[in-house]
């Protein structure tokens, strides 16, 4: 997640985190991952570490 904090907005990181956590939990539940794997040791970056706080939304303008 370290590279995510430098490149993506907080919302994008949170969405990625949810999917990653679900995939890892599935792997644990199905026995694809070693039982010693500790999901709680994987952490997403804190708010203050994130370079981009929000993604800028670009709006189009109407041409008359």
Q: How many angstroms separate the CA atoms of 44 and 7, rounded?
A: 14
pTM over 0.85: no
Per-residue model confidence (pLDDT) at position 29: 92
Per-residue model confidence (pLDDT) at position 49: 76
Q: Which of 16, 14, 5, 17 is nearest to 52 (CA)?
A: 5
Per-residue model confidence (pLDDT) at position 48: 78
In sequence order, the 6+-apart residues with CB closer than 8 A to the CB of 49 are 5
Condensed to tens digits (0 to 9), the pLDDT of residues 5-64 reads 777 777 888 888 899 889 988 998 999 988 888 878 777 777 777 776 666 666 666 666
Residue 36 near residue 25, CB atoms below 8 Å: no
Per-residue model confidence (pLDDT) at position 52: 65
């Amino acid at each position: 997640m370290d590279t995510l904090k430098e490149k993506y907005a907080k919302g994008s990181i949170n969405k990625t985190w949810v999917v990653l956590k679900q995939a890892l939990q599935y792997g644990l539940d199905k026995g694809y991952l070693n039982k010693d794997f500790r999901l709680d040791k994987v952490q997403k970056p804190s708010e203050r570490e994130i370079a981009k706080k929000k993604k800028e939304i670009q709006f189009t303008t109407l041409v008359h």
